[in-house]
Amino acid sequence: TLAIIGLGRIGREVAFRMLAFGMKTFGFEPRVPAEVAIKFGVETIVLSVIWPLSDYITVHTPLWNQRCMNC
């Protein structure tokens, strides 16, 4: 099971490629509607649930001051 944090251009491409492997994919991206994520084979869930359910985690988000707690 793969978790993709950030479903922008790169995150969506990763999800699309995982479809070829038949991998179950979870995703988190507050700006992307669940209907869009489903087109890429991604089930959107909240971050607090995504960690224990995933074998692999990929992060595809920009580093902004709003997202960085220790910058």
Each residue of 47-65: pLDDT tens digit? 999 999 999 999 998 876 6
Question: Residue 26: which of 36, 67, 5 has the closest Cα?
Answer: 5
| Domain presence at residue 65 | no
Give tens-digit pLDDT for 3-56: 999 999 999 999 999 999 999 999 999 888 989 999 989 999 999 999 999 999
| Domain presence at residue 67 | no
| Domain presence at residue 9 | yes
pTM of the model: 0.84
Phi-psi sector, 29: left (phi>0), alpha (psi -120 to 50), beta? beta
Segments forming the whole domain that contains residue 31: 2-59
| Domain presence at residue 19 | yes
Q: What is the domain count for the chain?
A: 1
pLDDT at position 60:
94
| Domain presence at residue 64 | no
